[in-house]
Amino acid sequence: MKLSVPRRAAAAAAFALAGLLASGAPAASAAPVAPVTTLAAPDIPLANVKAHLTQLQTIATNNGGNRAHGRAGYKASLDYVKAKLDAAGFTTSVQQFTSSGATGYNLIADWPGGDVNQTVMAGAHLDSVSSGPGINDNGSGSAAVLETALAVSRAQLQPAKHLRFGWWGAEELGLVGSKYYVNSLPSTERSKISGYLNFDMIGSSNPGYFVYDDDPVIEQTFKSYFSGIGVPTEIETEGDGRSDHASFKNVGIPVGGLFTGASRTKSSAQAQKWGGTAGQAFDRCYHSSCDTTSSINDTALDRNSDAIAHAVWSLSAGTTEPPGDFYENAADVTVPDAGAAVTSTVNVSGRSGNAPAVLKVGVDIKHTWRGDLVIDLLAPDGTAYRLKNSSGSDSADNVITTYTVDASTETANGDWKLRVQDVARYDTGYIDSWKLTF
C-alpha cells in the first residue's frame, strides 16, 4: 500500500502506430500497438467508380484512343479529376515536369485539416500506355482513389492525421511523375508523410487479390479488411519497383497498396481461391487496346475501392484518447466498523466528451468478511452506480476485482468517488487503492 495522488497513466501505445508508419518498423520500446478507435469507412459506391471510368474511356476515345503522357488524353483526364476535387472542397495543385520531350503533370489534392506532420497519402498513376485507354491500368486505381477522396468530402471527415491524394503522370515511362514529386519534396516534407498507399490495376478481368508486403501496419490494415469480407489475399511478389510506391519507398516512406494482377497467369490454386480462369492472365488486356471499361471486373473494383476507403479512414484516425488510460488513487482510507460511508476520489481531466459505456472500476479493498460492505461509484454529478451490495453470507475476505459501469451519460471530466460503507459489526478494513480505466 502506498500513498499517491491520483495519477494518469501515460499511454504511448496509440502513438506507436504513427511510429510504425514513420519508421516502417516497430520502435524497440514501443508498447504493443493498441487498437485505434476509428469511424467506420463508408461503402464506396461501385456505380460512382464506374462512372469515372466511363468518363476516362470517353476521354480516351475523344483523344486518339489513349490517355498517355504527353498526349491530350492525359491532360483531359487530369482536368476531369481536378474539377471533381475542386468542387468537393479539396486544395488542389498541378505539378508540371518534362519527360521524353513532353510536359507531364501530377495532381495533388489536400483535404484541409489534420496534423500535417502525420500525412497519410493515397495515390494512383493516371496515365495509360499509348496503345490503349488504360481503364484498368490505371483508370481503376485513379477512379477508386478519386471516389474515396469524394467520400471523405461527403463525410466531411476530420481525421487526426492530414489526408493527401495524388494522381501521377508518366508512370508508364518509369515512375517519372511520382519520382519527380518525391524528389521535389524537401526532406522535411517527406518525413511528414507517415505512409503512402498505391493503387495500380485494381479491377483486372481475371482478378487476384494481392497486398503489397511493405509496411507491416499498412499491409495488416488491408489484410484484415479482406479477411473481414471473407476474401483471401496473397502477398504481391512482383510489385517491388513496378509502380509509384517505389518512388516513396526509395526515400524511406512506409508504403503499401493493392493489386489485382497484370500479365502473369492465374494458377489453378488461385482460381480455386478466387474464382476466375486458371491458366489465363489476370488481365489479358494489359497494355493493350482492349483495356477498356468492358475489361473491368466489377467485384474486384468494388472490393478494392472499399478496401481503400477502409485504409484511408483507419490509417488517418488518431485516437482522441490514448486507449488504456487510467486514473488511480492509492491512498488508504479506513472504513469504520458499522459506521458512516467513506469515499476516495480521483480527478479526471483532459478528456473529451462523456465517459465510456464500458468504464472499468478496479477496486482493492482489504476487509475481513467482505459481506459487510456496500460499494458505490459516484459520478462527478453525484449519480451513484451500485457496484456491490452487502451480503451476510459472504464471509470471504477482501474485495479485489474490476467492475464495469455504463457511464456513457456522464461527463468524463471531474471528481469521481468510490464510496464504501461497512453495514455490519465486528469486521474492519480499508480502501487500499482504486482506479478508473477509460
Residues annotated catalytic, as ranges: 171
Q: Tell me the number of residues near ligand DTR by CB under 6 A.
A: 13
> Residue 261 corresponds to which amino acid?
G
Pairing of strands 399-405, 359-367: antiparallel
Q: Does residue 201 interact with ligand DTR by CB under 6 A?
A: yes
User: Which is closer to ligand DTR, CB of 239 or CB of 254?
Assistant: 239
Count the residues in the chain: 438
Q: Which of 43, 240, 298, 406 binds Ca ion (CB under 5 A)?
A: 43
302 binding partner (options Ca ion, Zn ion, ligand DTR, none; Cβ < 5 to 8 Å by kind): Ca ion
Q: Does residue 236 interact with ligand DTR by CB under 6 A?
A: yes
> Are the beta carbons of 381 and 325 closer than 8 angstroms?
no
Q: Does residue 304 interact with Zn ion by CB under 5 A?
A: no
| Cα 219 to the center of its chain, rounded Å | 11
233 binding partner (options Zn ion, Ca ion, ligand DTR, none; Cβ < 5 to 8 Å by kind): none
**CA neighbor of 107 nearest in space, from 120, 90, 94:** 94
Q: Does residue 262 interact with ligand DTR by CB under 6 A?
A: yes
Cite the DSSP H helix spans in 185-297: 187-190, 216-228, 245-249, 268-274
Q: Which of residues 101-160 bind Zn ion (CB under 5 A)?
A: 137-138
Q: Does residue 243 interact with ligand DTR by CB under 6 A?
A: yes
306 binding partner (options Ca ion, Zn ion, ligand DTR, none; Cβ < 5 to 8 Å by kind): Ca ion
Whole-angstrom distance, CA of residue 360 vs CA of residue 145: 40
Least distance between ligand DTR and beta carbon 286 (Å) = 7
> Are the beta carbons of 325 and 435 closer than 8 angstroms?
no
Least distance between ligand DTR and beta carbon 359 (Å) = 46
Q: Does residue 122 interact with Ca ion by CB under 5 A?
A: no
Stretch that binds ligand DTR, among 31-39, 65-73, 223-231, 238-246 (CB under 6 A): 238-246
240 binding partner (options Ca ion, Zn ion, ligand DTR, none; Cβ < 5 to 8 Å by kind): none
Whole-angstrom distance, CA of residue 384 vs CA of residue 386: 6
422 binding partner (options Zn ion, Ca ion, ligand DTR, none; Cβ < 5 to 8 Å by kind): none
- Alpha-carbon dihedral angle through residues 226, 231, 237, 242, given to the nearest 10 degrees: -60
Whole-angstrom distance, CA of residue 309 vs CA of residue 153: 12
Say whether 356 sits in a helix, a strand or coil.
Answer: coil
| Cα 37 to the center of its chain, rounded Å | 9
Contact residues toward ligand DTR (CB under 6 A) are: 137-138, 171-172, 200-201, 236, 238-239, 242-243, 259, 262
List of residues contacting Zn ion (CB under 5 A): 137-138, 200
